[in-house]
Amino acid sequence: MYPLLPAAGGKDKDMYFNQVEFGQRLKKARKAMDFTQEELAEILGVERLHITRMERGVVACSIDLLLDLSCHLQVSTDYLLKGVSAGMKNPKEQLLEVIQELSLVAERL
């Protein structure tokens, strides 16, 4: 598990990315769009097994795939990563925040 940036106002300093919870949110969003794993995999150009493993929390996804998932499932990257809605932020602001968070995670690897 990799630490994320603290939320605004300094709250939740011990918040960590949870792959299992990410997978649960991914599955919920996929089902809300009425996609099978096979259909989503075909749309994204990945193997169905990769979708299965992400939903089970076994593997994570690349930034590019995260953005594609967000777009095709019509949910924010914040929702997929942290389980929270992005609120009133515009997509560019959301994307820049996610890039910043993931850059910090990558530095810690």
The string of pLDDT tens digits covering residues 75-101 is: 999 899 988 765 546 677 778 888 888
The dihedral formed by the CA atoms of 12, 18, 20 and 26, expressed in degrees to the nearest 10: 80
pTM, rounded to two decimals: 0.66
Tokens representing 18 are 């949870």
Q: Could you give the CA distance from residue 104 to residue 35 in angstroms, rounded to a whole number? A: 32
**Structural domains in the chain?**
14-107 (1.10.260.40)
pLDDT per residue as tens digits for the range 29-86: 999 999 999 999 999 999 999 999 999 999 989 999 999 999 999 999 989 998 876 5
Beta bridge partners of 16: 3
pLDDT, position 44: 97
